[in-house]
């Protein structure tokens, strides 16, 4: 099952790579922009997941009391 998911996800990653390389020809600072955007998205994902986990823990603790 996992290799099938990777096989379906690979063309998407390949397309994103081609898009970024094409933009890199036109825009010289795409490397810096990509690094900044990936850092921001990584930070937002951790904050979002911590909120989800906190919400689930809060509801489960309320059920215990």
pLDDT tens-digit map of 5-15 = 778 888 999 99
pLDDT digits (tens, 9 = 90+) for 33-48: 888 888 998 888 888 8
Task: Examine the pLDDT at 51 and tell me if it is beyond 90.
Answer: no
Number of domains in the chain: 1
Element (H, E) at 12: helix 2-26
Looking at the predicted structure, is the pLDDT value of residue 55 above 70? yes
Owning domain of residue 28: 2-64
Asked whether the beta carbons of 35 and 24 are under 8 A apart, the reply is no
pTM, 2 dp: 0.44
């Amino acid at each position: 099952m996992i290799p099938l998911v990777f096989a379906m996800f690979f063309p998407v990653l390949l397309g994103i790579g081609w898009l970024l390389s094409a933009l890199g020809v036109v825009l010289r600072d795409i490397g810096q922009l990509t690094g900044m955007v990936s850092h921001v998205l990584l930070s937002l994902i951790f904050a979002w997941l911590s909120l989800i986990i906190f919400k689930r823990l809060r509801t489960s603790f309320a059920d215990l009391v």
